[in-house]
């Protein structure tokens, strides 16, 4: 089947207008029209089969786990809509060629228009609900771009924003509905969903699904109370109004109702809600349209009213009503698009859309006037035109329903009243614009438009006549197949004829025409009466509501985001507490069954030191240097703890990190006040923080105790069993780091490198002042680099490096490895910085530490990638044993090279941080010295 390409052709065509914009305007329009025309050809190619009542679907799996497939279908309904979208779309492209002025960016306009066309085709041809929703949102976005095309106008921007907000919100509701429906049915494919009516309608979610779908449809199709966005969308260029706001986008909501008619319709709720919403919208739109002075405003409200009519038909519980709805979709698209185009011509050639200024245009543009009159007559429902046929069917169906019980007779009466208003505003459109005296205050003399600008209108008006006179031969088959798709079962008998004899619907038509005449003749008192009501500007109300939302959001934001880290930290701790504590309450006992070690003196002393050190850090936290010393005491005891409990690697790492951290904090302390100012914090905060901290401490302690005393089933057995055989090393911790979990380590050294670079950027261009004196007013020592320190450090350096090399080499089999060796080397170098100063070191170490990080990471990465060369997964290690004379048997492993990468990165990161911070102290000190 060829139809699969139909939604893709215009998609490819989105960029064509942008590419051809630089040629002349006709070329651009022609090139733009090419792919949609091709798509239309493909549809026509498949048309005969569809008219025979066949439906086709075609799918490609996309994300099958989510039920999302790329899936298209071609049945009567989608063929009908595709013809409207592509046919009217092509006419609009032609029309816009003449409508847009030289100043407008034609390529951009066509680009948006084709994007919209793609989206609409996607909606009507989707066979997957999620895919349908995706296209649905794309119409909202592209219509936003089209409405705001003249973005210099505030009305256009506001109108576009309003349309996007309303239809976008409806789209979200629709998504929720689709997901619910998909979960209920168990599939997102339409061919499955459409045949699951019974399952869905008996499901408890039915009401929710229905409401969400109706929200989506009613917002898109401008049904009361969401109708107000449509008149404001009239700020768009007229080709957009003709395309989006008559034929296509506003019909998307109706399409949705029609598409899901087989599965959602048929219940009491559907009939009541849908029909009453439609009826009310029909009346409201028809009444308001009469009083609009703006041509497009009148047409917009008339569109709302006609959409209401179609919705009402879909809500009536007869099959013929659904057929009438489909018929009116076709007719309304044809006559309303031509009317919008006529209004655009009038605006374009006379410079105004205000009906108080526009009068007597018949003299100036007789052809356009004739065309507009025929189209208006169709809108009013005058016999021999297509609008009459569907209106007759509509009147017939209003008679045949029982929604309001014994008050059901109200519906045909109200429908006739709506019809009368439609006649009245159509009359106004004709009489006020083309007759009724002479034009008043126009800026230019009206004249006929360029020849080809009128062609689209002529084609559409001709269609109005042809369909109106020979309905059965023209739209008959199309209507049959589309209705078949809507009803999802064989059609009842119905006849498409102009003359059904003298009957009640004909009487209603007559009454509507007579009533419309009467209303129009008495328009002056009616306008005076309408003038008594205060004018409501939906735009102001809407913007007000939006701004209220923004203010509210700001308020919430300010409350939550007060700028106090203290407060954030408190809430973080509070919620951690609130979430962790309850499950612990259910635990019967903390003490598990595991045997415990008896307490001995050494551990007791260490524990006392830890507790005392922590406590002292807190108590003396105002005296920052002392707090720092106490903190390093804690750190030392922690490393001894690691050593005591069989973790030599950890002890070594902790010890070296401890040294580096203390140097770092001491350097930083240069730039901070040495004493924290006496706390102003309220006593209540103090108690609060103390309570939270203690509670969390208790919980962490309890969990820790419970963990240690419970029997453990760990995956570590695997590592111990395979370290030697699989990784070639006896130090299991190191083998885990460079082999089993090498990818983690790779990530970690990357993070380390990133952190160091971030710090480097933070230090760069930092402007800080350094004190010349300490807290007690003493000057800093003048002896910057004590001789003894320099000499000893320098002579220790080779020893340090030797030790780190040793630690590095033995790491795979004995405690040590890249992390620890890297830290030891760093400490050795920092020692030189401390003893000799930055300048001395800079002369001797000319390599920038950035390179260490880079080379380290690249080494690690290449080691990992190297295993690909042997057809192994990333970071698979390799090792083997060799023997050389004198040296004896030794082992070579690829993990050693990886560890070298770790080693280099650690050195680079540590020194990048500390050397730069140290440089800062030197630099600042110099400036102070000079001063």
- Subset of 622-641 contacting another protein (CB under 8 A): 624, 627-628, 631, 634-635, 638, 641
745: Cβ contacts below 8 Å, ≥ 6 apart: 737, 738, 898, 902
Cβ closer to another protein: 354 or 748?
748
Cβ closer to another protein: 449 or 818?
818
**Binding track over 410-429 against another protein, x by CB under 8 A:** --------------------
Residue from 790, 813, 876, 921 that binds another protein (CB under 8 A)?
813
How near is the Cβ of 593 to another protein at its closest, in Å? 12
Applying CB under 8 A, does 191 fall inside the site for another protein?
no
Residues 630, 635, 638, 644, CA torsion sign: negative
Span near another protein by CB under 8 A; candidates 85-93, 103-111, 693-701, 861-869: 693-701
Alpha carbons 91 and 341: distance in angstroms, whole number:
10
Applying CB under 8 A, does 732 fall inside the site for another protein?
yes
Alpha carbons 135 and 592: distance in angstroms, whole number:
58
Q: Is residue 925 a contact partner of residue 770, using CB atoms and an 8 Å limit?
A: yes
Applying CB under 8 A, does 15 fall inside the site for another protein?
no
Cβ closer to another protein: 522 or 566?
566
Q: Is residue 539 a contact partner of residue 158, using CB atoms and an 8 Å limit?
A: yes
How near is the Cβ of 742 to another protein at its closest, in Å? 11
Window 508 to 537, contacts with another protein (CB under 8 A): none
How near is the Cβ of 572 to another protein at its closest, in Å? 10
Applying CB under 8 A, does 231 fall inside the site for another protein?
no
Span near another protein by CB under 8 A; candidates 8-16, 112-120, 745-753, 886-894: 745-753
Query: How many residues lie near another protein (CB under 8 A)?
Result: 119
How near is the Cβ of 104 to another protein at its closest, in Å? 47
Applying CB under 8 A, does 19 fall inside the site for another protein?
no
How near is the Cβ of 710 to another protein at its closest, in Å? 9
325: Cβ contacts below 8 Å, ≥ 6 apart: 254, 258, 310, 313, 314, 486
Q: Is residue 372 a contact partner of residue 434, using CB atoms and an 8 Å limit?
A: yes
Q: Which residues pair with 879 in a beta bridge?
A: 893
Q: Is residue 338 a contact partner of residue 387, using CB atoms and an 8 Å limit?
A: no
**Binding track over 334-373 against another protein, x by CB under 8 A:** ----------------------------------------
Applying CB under 8 A, does 829 fall inside the site for another protein?
no
How near is the Cβ of 847 to another protein at its closest, in Å? 21
Q: Is residue 336 a contact partner of residue 299, using CB atoms and an 8 Å limit?
A: yes
Cα dihedral value 819, 825, 827, 833, nearest 10: -140
Span near another protein by CB under 8 A; candidates 323-331, 352-360, 591-599, 791-799: 591-599
Applying CB under 8 A, does 687 fall inside the site for another protein?
no
**CA distance to 728, 817, 905, per residue, from 877 (Å):** 9, 16, 20
Alpha carbons 474 and 497: distance in angstroms, whole number:
12
Cβ closer to another protein: 411 or 909?
909
Burial class (CB in 10 A: 0-12, 13-18, 19+), 79: buried
How near is the Cβ of 74 to another protein at its closest, in Å? 58
Answer whether the bond into residue 225 is a cis peptide, omega within 30°.
Answer: yes
**Binding track over 651-680 against another protein, x by CB under 8 A:** --xx--x--xx--xx--xx-xxx--xx-x-
Window 596 to 615, contacts with another protein (CB under 8 A): 596-600, 603-604, 607, 610-611, 614-615
Residue from 741, 850, 919, 925 that binds another protein (CB under 8 A)?
741
Query: DSSP labels for 371-404?
Result: HHHHHHHHHHT-TTSHHHHHHHHHHHHHHS--TT
Cβ closer to another protein: 354 or 689?
689
Residues 704, 706, 708, 711, CA torsion sign: negative
HSE, CB side, 13 Å, CA atoms: give it for residue 215.
18
Cβ closer to another protein: 523 or 685?
685
Cβ closer to another protein: 498 or 573?
573
Q: What are phi and psi of 892, to 5 degrees?
A: -115, 130
Which residue from 892, 874, 872 is spatially nearest to 882, judged by alpha carbons?
A: 892
Question: What 8-state DSSP symbol labels residue 591?
Answer: -
Cβ closer to another protein: 644 or 882?
644
Applying CB under 8 A, does 758 fall inside the site for another protein?
yes
Cβ closer to another protein: 205 or 705?
705
Alpha carbons 44 and 259: distance in angstroms, whole number:
21
Query: DSSP labels for 206-233?
Result: HHHHHHHHHHHHHHHTT-TTSTTHHHHG
**Binding track over 906-925 against another protein, x by CB under 8 A:** x--xx--x---x--------
Cβ closer to another protein: 420 or 807?
807
**Binding track over 768-797 against another protein, x by CB under 8 A:** xxxxx-------------------------
**Binding track over 845-874 against another protein, x by CB under 8 A:** ------------------------------
What crossing angle do the helices spanning 451-469 and 76-99 adopt, rounded to 10°?
150
Window 555 to 574, contacts with another protein (CB under 8 A): 562-567, 569-570, 573
Alpha carbons 188 and 64: distance in angstroms, whole number:
10
Residue from 135, 224, 642, 849 that binds another protein (CB under 8 A)?
642
Radius of gyration of the chain from Cα atoms? 40
Q: Is residue 482 a contact partner of residue 124, using CB atoms and an 8 Å limit?
A: no
Residue from 529, 644, 785, 881 that binds another protein (CB under 8 A)?
644
Residue from 538, 720, 858, 865 that binds another protein (CB under 8 A)?
720
Which residue from 258, 234, 375 is spatially nearest to 307, judged by alpha carbons?
A: 258
Cβ closer to another protein: 553 or 698?
698
Burial class (CB in 10 A: 0-12, 13-18, 19+), 559: exposed
Cβ closer to another protein: 184 or 631?
631
């Amino acid at each position: 089947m060829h139809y699969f390409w139909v939604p893709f052709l215009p998609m490819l065509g989105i960029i064509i207008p942008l590419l051809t914009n630089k040629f002349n305007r006709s070329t651009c329009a022609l090139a733009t029209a090419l792919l949609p025309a091709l798509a239309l050809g493909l549809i026509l190619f498949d048309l005969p089969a569809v008219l025979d009542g066949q439906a086709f679907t075609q799918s490609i799996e996309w994300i099958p786990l989510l039920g999302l497939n790329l899936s298209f279908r071609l049945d009567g309904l989608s063929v009908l809509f595709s013809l409207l979208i592509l046919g009217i779309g092509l006419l609009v492209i032609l029309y816009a060629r003449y409508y847009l002025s030289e100043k407008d960016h034609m390529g951009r306009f066509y680009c948006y228009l084709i994007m919209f066309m793609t989206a609409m085709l996607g909606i009507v041809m989707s066979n997957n609900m999620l895919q349908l929703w995706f296209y649905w949102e794309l119409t909202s976005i592209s219509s936003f771009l089209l409405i705001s095309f003249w973005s210099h106008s505030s009305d256009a921007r506001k109108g576009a924003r309003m349309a996007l907000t309303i239809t976008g919100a409806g789209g979200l509701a629709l998504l929720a509905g689709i997901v619910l429906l998909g979960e209920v049915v168990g599939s997102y494919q339409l061919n499955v969903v459409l045949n699951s009516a019974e399952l869905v309608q008996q499901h408890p979610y039915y009401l929710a699904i229905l409401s969400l779908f109706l929200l989506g449809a009613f917002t898109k199709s401008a049904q009361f109370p969401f109708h107000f966005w449509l008149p404001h969308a009239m700020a768009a260029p007229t080709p957009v109004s003709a395309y989006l706001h008559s034929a296509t986008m506003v019909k998307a909501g109706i399409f949705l109702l029609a598409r899901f008619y087989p599965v959602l319709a048929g219940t009491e709720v559907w009939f009541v809600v849908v029909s009453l919403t439609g009826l009310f919208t029909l009346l409201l739109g028809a009444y308001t349209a009469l009083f609009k002075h703006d041509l497009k405003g009148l047409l917009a409200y008339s569109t709302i009213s006609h959409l209401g009519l179609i919705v009402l038909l879909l809500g009536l519980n007869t099959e013929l009503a659904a057929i009438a709805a489909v018929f009116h979709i076709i007719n309304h698209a044809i006559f309303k698009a031509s009317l919008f185009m006529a209004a655009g011509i009038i605006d374009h050639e006379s410079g105004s859309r205000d009906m108080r200024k526009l009068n007597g245009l018949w003299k100036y543009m007789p052809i356009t006037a004739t065309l507009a009159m025929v189209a208006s007559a169709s809108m009013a429902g005058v016999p021999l035109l297509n609008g009459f046929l569907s209106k007759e069917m509509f009147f017939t169906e209003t008679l045949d329903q029982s929604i309001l019980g014994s008050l059901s007779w109200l519906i045909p009466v109200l429908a006739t009243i709506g019809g009368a208003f439609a006649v009245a505003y159509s009359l106004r459109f004709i009489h006020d614009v083309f007759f009724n005296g002479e034009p008043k205050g126009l800026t230019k003399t009206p004249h006929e438009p360029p020849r080809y600008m009128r062609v689209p209108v002529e084609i559409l008006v001709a269609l109005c006549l042809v369909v109106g006179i020979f309905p059965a031969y023209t739209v008959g088959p199309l209507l049959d197949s589309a209705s078949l798709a809507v009803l999802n079962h064989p059609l009842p008998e119905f006849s498409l004829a102009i003359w059904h004899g003298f009957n009640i619907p004909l009487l209603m038509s007559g009454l509507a025409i007579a009533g419309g005449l009467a209303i129009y003749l008495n328009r002056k008192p009616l306008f005076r009466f309408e003038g008594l009501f205060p004018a409501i500007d939906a735009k102001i109300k809407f913007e007000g509501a939006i701004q209220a939302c923004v203010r509210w959001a700001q308020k919430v934001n300010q409350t939550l985001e007060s700028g106090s880290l203290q407060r954030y930290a408190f809430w973080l701790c509070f919620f951690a507490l609130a979430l962790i504590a309850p499950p612990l309450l259910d635990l019967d006992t903390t003490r598990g069954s595991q045997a415990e070690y008896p307490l001995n003196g050494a551990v007791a002393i260490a524990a006392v030191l830890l507790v005392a050190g922590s406590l002292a850090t807190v108590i003396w936290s105002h005296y920052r240097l002392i707090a720092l010393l106490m903190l390093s005491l804690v750190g030392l005891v922690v490393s001894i703890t690691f050593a005591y409990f069989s973790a030599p690697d950890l002890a070594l790492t902790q010890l070296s990190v401890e040294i580096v951290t203390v140097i770092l904090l001491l350097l930083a302390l240069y730039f901070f006040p040495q004493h924290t100012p006496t706390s102003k914090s309220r006593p209540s905060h103090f108690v609060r923080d103390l309570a939270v901290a203690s509670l969390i401490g208790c919980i962490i302690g309890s969990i820790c105790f419970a963990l240690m005393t419970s029997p453990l089933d760990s995956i570590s057995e695997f590592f111990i069993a395979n370290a030697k055989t699989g990784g070639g090393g006896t130090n299991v911790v190191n083998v885990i780091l460079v082999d089993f979990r090498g990818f983690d380590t790779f990530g970690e050294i990357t993070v380390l490198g990133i952190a160091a670079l971030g710090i480097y950027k933070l230090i760069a261009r930092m402007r800080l002042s350094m004190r010349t004196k300490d807290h007690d007013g003493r000057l800093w020592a003048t002896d910057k680099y004590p001789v003894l320190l320099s000499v000893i450090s320098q002579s220790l350096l080779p020893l340090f490096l030797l030790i780190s090399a040793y630690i590095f080499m033995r790491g795979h089999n004995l405690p040590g490895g890249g992390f620890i060796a890297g830290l030891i080397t760093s400490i050795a170098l920092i020692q030189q910085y401390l003893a000799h100063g930055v300048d001395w070191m800079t002369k001797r170490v000319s390599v920038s530490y950035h390179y260490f990080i880079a080379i380290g990471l690249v080494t690690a990465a290449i080691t990992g990638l190297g295993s690909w060369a042997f057809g192994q997964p990333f970071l698979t290690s390799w090792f083997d044993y060799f023997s050389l004379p004198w040296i004896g048997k030794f082992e070579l492993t690829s993990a050693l090279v990886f560890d070298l990468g770790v080693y280099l990165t650690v050195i680079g990161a540590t020194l990048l941080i500390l050397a730069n911070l140290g440089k800062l102290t030197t630099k600042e000190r110099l400036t102070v010295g000079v001063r």
